[in-house]
Amino acid sequence: MTTARLGINIDHVATLRQQRGEEYPSMALAAKTVFENGADQITIHLREDRRHIQDADVPVVKKVCDEYSQPLNFEMGCHPEIIDLAIKTGPAWVCLVPEKREERTTEGGLDLIDPENFKRVSEATKKIRDHGIMVSLFVEANLPTLEKANELGVEAVEIHTGDYARDFQDGMDLTPHLEKFYEAKNFLDKYEIGCHAGHGLTDLSTEKLLKNKLFVEYNIGHWIICQSVFEGLGKTTEKLVDLFKKYPVED
């Protein structure tokens, strides 16, 4: 039995720390806790404005990943100094994402149709992959964008699920989202590109996607940290792991 991989984004552990400028809560302890309770990888996003994860957190989290022989998924914009840090750190994955300083959180996928943006992403992708790091691109589930991603030879894409997640919360018809996700999955499977998902997901909105066997990896963060206020990080992780086991992608 093969289950989808669960990546846990621990950015908002750092958000709590940065609110007061304290040394706690510990990023290393957060990473260890989710691994001890069954997570498959850690995701962190070092933003240009350093609003949560800091440069010094990256090697700390990478060390914990190495201790548990699990991958680090390092999200970033195409910023030269952060790309250099990624190359120095050597995570298993770099996930390239769009980034605007004024946004609360990432608001959508990379625009690969615009020639200038495509050039920037292409150059960043090549530099990172030349150092033996796998690259995924955070994109929308539309074929023109996925075709451009395929041109770059990336190992995976992460489909932006933010709009789906909001419509799920609001009780809207999810059929248009699911149809796009299926279309994306079929295209990516054809070219042997990993089909990942992330943004805005909760346990319930993730369960619907798991039932439909749409993605091989899910990266979930904000909801996990919020739910941990009530149940603890370990218990919240354990429950998600159990949920994933209910819906194997392969028997």
Asked if 52 is an active-site residue, the reply is: no
Residue from 158, 177, 199, 217 carrying the catalytic annotation: 199
Residue from 52, 75, 160, 177 carrying the catalytic annotation: 75
Asked if 12 is an active-site residue, the reply is: no
Query: Do 96 and 137 meet the contact criterion of CB atoms below 8 Å apart?
Result: yes
Q: What is the CA radius of gyration of the chain?
A: 17
Helices (H), 40-191: 57-67, 80-89, 115-129, 143-151, 162-169, 175-190
Query: Do 34 and 61 meet the contact criterion of CB atoms below 8 Å apart?
Result: no
CA distance 74 to 51: 15
Q: Which helix (H) or strand (E) holds 44?
A: strand 41-45
Q: Which residues pair with 74 in a beta bridge?
A: 44, 94
Residue from 12, 45, 52, 160 carrying the catalytic annotation: 45
Active site residues: 45, 75, 199
